[in-house]
Structure 1
């Protein structure tokens, strides 16, 4: 497919001063070397290079410059852009090596990781092969349910996805702008299209500034301030960086006529900006916001300086043969170093700095082999040079293989055994299970027992004076560790460990939860819509994890539950931290919820919990006392209007590497021995308990003696999988604990 660009005089240049012939820019190749080395050293764990990730920004500017230069040369020599040729060159250059890395990563994941991870890794490989993985990582970055997902072995493909998307749209943008500018010129010239002047480079540059660079930069600054985690990955926040390189390419004619000394000074300044950013920028710097302009401008200045001083200053330094060699290998190095780091972690655990440096150094070997035997032969194959369609086909075939590899891994990882069925076992007053019907899993009563309060002749039967809803649950003794394998609640492990991360409370599907960055307050109602007793469940996911149990209790007792939740946000007036930054969004959300609870949506009781155990104090530090004070502040305001508070303990931290559900999936025959760990009190429990002691109308319930019997946590308790992401219990386990929770909770909620 060939697309002509107006007007019809292809031999006339777009700007005066264009160099007579193209030359190989060794300084640009050296810039690539600097960029990839910064990224590799940063990924190895060298803390001093805290901003090594800016190497990606350098790559973006260089790519924008190189691709735009190629397009301009084609336009100026032929008057058109042959899209098939363009896409064919990109396909044979990039797709084979990427496809090889993705297939190797698939095999490594299958051999080295838990079955639980296969589905997520397969999804990532699939998205990486399709070059849309940056959007997937953006969504995951704000998904609180993805907290157990470790670093993806294809995380580095996010930047390759941005570049591939750029390669697809960029020639179309150039063609569109040239058509628009040419159309305007023809309208202004009465002689018609054949006499219309060719659009000059400065006009095209102005068009790119107006259409791409400025809007993208403004969006990047705004979105980085609003949602920094997402902004880092998505394409619109990065287009201005690629556009900056394109503007340098458009200015080539003017820049090549500058004085050598001027060019050298600019290049030195640019190199200083790039290297300085690598050492001064940190992971907490909002990116790619205003700060990203520094390395982008620095890269542009280095390229600009090289036009007029190709043999002096930084151009000479960057043109040294070792740097040029590394620059030529940079794509392969970028592809290979990150998966190798992950492979090591999968096999041996967390990397030390020495190990990280050794691995990134060792990545030169597979990178060179890939370049020598895959990239280079395909790139320079005569048959592919002569047929762009064939070149495009070869590249897409490599992509197809990697797509299939990711799909197979994902499908194998999603194959779970059938979920267990309830056995009819329920809690008893002795703490040991007793037989009952499937419906009695939560009530703890046997309807066939004539002496049972809910039995046929019991005083609180449906035909009795009060009905079952008014009966207070009887005391229970916490389970013993020995009972963990006795009388299972289900006939197979439930939920299946491969599906643990999907066993979450229903409020997620109902979109009742406000995300970490979300400002809005959402309220959902559960239980009896006509219930006279109103219970507000407020806080982060640590209180939300109990919703399956609370919904069951509410249905039995006739409560109306109003649910208010925001991820990573305790219900407190104190300012907590997230990613070492003040969580102001949480403060605003909590204040809005308090205004509702003391205004139009006054409840009888508030149930809360939290993961955080510290908050900012007036001195600028973070202390537990500050968080306790924040709890007491809000709970006291609720007490003034007659609303009591019940705080539920934070659940203990789980075992790590493997997680409880990974351990249960990989070692099903020895789960009782291999998948246990000592219990702690839960990170957020202590400040909750301390605050409850200071507020007369507040109570504290410690559920951890039920979650972890006798101080020992188990991954599987009576065939119930206990933990999912982080330190959250599964929805199934929460349902099973409904009766013990009711025994503790009902007397406090219904005490009036």
Structure 2
């Protein structure tokens, strides 16, 4: 994680004993070693909570405020100085030298580990996120992934943590443009009034960003979590505090109380607040406010540069050398700890780190962070002849020489960045070419690729390569997805598309979420064969339900758009009055193995029955789960597993009885369909049947396998409708 620390002027370098660790001289008055220590506490909390508790500690929010304080304060001092240049290029060059070298080194190491440890099915995601990380739009890449139902279940990325650095990078550039543009236009006309003008402008932007964060959090917390403007108020607040610090004089007793409260809040935030679900909303005020208190507590315009005793005791504690050193490693440690954790979990197959392996991950991360800081960051950060951020004795000139950027090191880092970019684009093109061959999947020989018929008709299966391949599988989608005939997470409108025999007078309404949608591949063919049309009423992750606050299946986050859509779609179904409504009737249990018929489906069935609309209630296909996490058979197969080892025990996913059958007496117009035996054997659900990959992800049937279900669906659907 990064926080830019102001470079100390040459006057701070001396021969003999170093000045007290708490503060150091600067032309502006202070060097805040206590805030270096606060960074050390924050990165320790981030790493510990990630490794052992799987929670958000609030440390990232501390970093955001400190980044605004240091970077924004530095820029404001520059533009408010009438003698300073208004060229932004020196600041941009400094940003590049500060941020990119360590990032490139960690990304390159992560790329090597990805190839060594992760299945090739994960390489495309890594390539996408590598490019997003290098381009500083990783937060938007993750936001798109979270709102994209086709990718929402993907395994956690080893680069996921770089979202916060992307937010900061975007803020730095936007703030640079804003400040220098205003200074160019207003510095001469306003003169001394430029400072209060900036304060007013930044206050307005801070309030606007916070209000936006609150509303965005309520509308869609997951995507708001990564939104740059929803996070901007945290950085802007740091800038505002930096603008106010020079004019503040606090009594010691008050400063001690402020620092104590702030440090306690920072330390306890991760344990008391579920930041994954509560940030960036109002609860983010806790770590942000605590950081502001820590900044203000040690600010005193009456203090002298070398008076350590004028600091409150919490600030003196934070200024201790070990915490200051840890703070100087914060950026590199933030970069290293997360990918090492994710690769270790991928290698071991565990869901979380234990005491000893977690400690080992932290230790290795610390060593790599120090080496990266010492031999990559520092040599490339400081120009020849420029002073280090920490005082260096004149008597040891080799250290100064070692910290100077070298052509060899800079060239190596540059080549790594180029190689990473080229490799990422090359792999993406390779995957595109592989998937292009998937167009032939619809014409596979039913003799060579019988799929479900190996279970229902016990046909002989020749030993042939599996189709779709693990790289083809993600694009083996139902036609309705490719046609845009399903509403996404944010869209609450109804999208009607027609399949089957469009000229037919008989209609089946296919309604619900993507688990209703993946049946369109079979229903389309049966509609053409038996002369009925299929009209879609579909929304991602949203079954027909009366639940007031629906949850997204898999991560249980609130999904209010689903409720709005359900109200609209039920009214439209009643108005359209199709011959049948085809929808799913069960869901997996969240608390134990097997599946269940949710009580919130009963109200939907009652409404349809009251309006004399028959229901085709399809038992949902199994959702694959191992160790409490979504399980991807394609990943397992890519690692060298087989159809059996990459499968799941049937009883873990399906209950012994389809509970929908218990409601036939209550709803005489309902017909129950159950194709579980075409997906699973009596005791095991295999990854591959009849040379065909069953699932394209962890819970959707591949379109190729769905085509092999047509005979059995026809056998059940004909009597249920009475049409053949």
Q: How far does residue 710 in structure 1 lie from its aligned partner after superposition?
A: 4.3
> How much does 1:238 deviate?
1.0
1:637 and 2:607 aligned:
yes
* Cα deviation digits, residues 379-437 of structure 1 (max 9, x gap): 235179999999999976654343234334544555638446678754xxxxxx6x9xx
- Listed as ranges, the matches of 1:621-700 within 5 Å are 628-654=598-624, 656=626, 659-667=632-640, 671-672=642-643, 674-680=645-651, 682=653, 686-692=658-664, 694-700=666-672
The 5 Å alignment of 1:70-469 reads 70-75=74-79, 76=81, 78-182=83-187, 186=189, 197-210=191-204, 212-255=205-248, 257-283=249-275, 285-308=277-300, 311-350=311-350, 351-354=352-355, 355-382=357-384, 399-411=417-429, 416=434, 418-419=437-438, 425-426=445-446
Give the whole-Å Cα distance in 1 for the aligned partners of 2:170 and 2:443.
Answer: 53
1:732 to 684, 704, 712: 704
Q: Cα deviation per residue 1:485-507 (whole Å; 9 max; x = unaligned)?
A: 6158xx74322211211111122
How far 1:90 sits from its partner (Å)? 1.4
CA–CA distance in structure 2, aligned partners of residues 107 and 695 of structure 1: 58
1:64 to 55, 65, 68: 68
Does structure 2 conserve the Cα–Cα contact (< 8 Å) formed by 1:542 and 1:728? yes
More deviation, 404-413/56-65: 404-413
Q: What's the secondary structure of 1:562's corresponding residue?
A: strand
Supply the distance in 2 between the matched residues of 1:334 and 1:328 (Cα, whole angstroms): 11
SS at match of 1:568: coil
3-state SS of paired residue (1:607):
strand
TM-superposed CA distance for 1:479, in Å, is 4.1
State how 1:564-575 maps to structure 2 within 5 Å. 564-575=537-548
Equivalent position of 2:470 in the other structure: 497
Q: State the distance in 1 between where 2:282 and 2:154 align.
A: 30
Residues 382 and 405 in structure 2, CA contact (< 8 A), matched pair in contact too: no
Residue 680 to residue 521, structure 1, CA distance change in 2 (3 Å): farther
Q: Distance in 2 between matches of 1:633 and 1:534?
A: 23
> Which segment is superposed worse, 311-320 or 301-310?
301-310
Out of 492-501 and 69-78, give the one that drifted further. Answer: 69-78
Instruction: Return the TM-score normalized by structure 1.
Output: 0.81
CA distance in 1, matches of 2:417, 2:147: 28
**After alignment, is 679-688 or 174-183 more displaced?**
679-688
Residue correspondences, number: 664
Pairwise CA distance, 1:584: 4.0
Aligned partner of 1:447 in structure 2 is: none
Secondary structure at 1:638 match in 2: helix
Match of 2:509 in 1: 536
Gaps of 5+ in 1: 1-17, 187-195, 427-432, 443-476, 616-620
Deviation at 1:323, TM superposition (A): 0.7
Give TM-score scaled by structure 2 length. 0.84
Larger radius of gyration: 1
Contact 2:171/2:232 (<8 A) preserved:
yes
Q: Could you tell me whether the CA contact under 8 Å between 2:453 and 2:459 is conserved in 1?
A: no
Aligned position for 2:579: 604
Deviation at 1:478, TM superposition (A): 6.5
Q: Deviations over 1:575-624 (max 9, x none)?
A: 554444554433332232221112x2111101111563569xxxxx9999
**Structure 2 unmatched ranges of 5 or more:** 1-24, 304-309, 388-402
Match of 2:44 in 1: 37
- Are residue 595 (structure 1) and residue 557 (structure 2) matched? no
Could you say what secondary structure the match of 1:150 adopts? Answer: coil
**CA distance, structure 2, for counterparts of residue 371 and residue 574 of structure 1:** 52
**How large is the Cα RMSD of the aligned pairs?**
3.4
Q: Secondary structure at the match of 1:81?
A: coil
Measured in 2, the distance between the counterparts of 1:394 and 1:242 equals: 33
Pair 237,485 (structure 1): closer, same or farther in 2 beyond 3 Å: farther
Whole-Å separation in 1 of the counterparts to 2:273 and 2:287 = 10
Q: What secondary structure sits across from 2:672 in the alignment? A: strand
Alpha-carbon contact 1:540-1:610 (below 8 Å) kept: no
- Return closer, same or farther for 1:38/1:480 CA change in 2, 3 Å cut-off: same
| SS at structure 1 position matched to 2:108 | helix
Seen in structure 2, the aligned counterparts of structure 1 residues 332 and 135 have a Cα distance that, compared at 3 Å, is: same
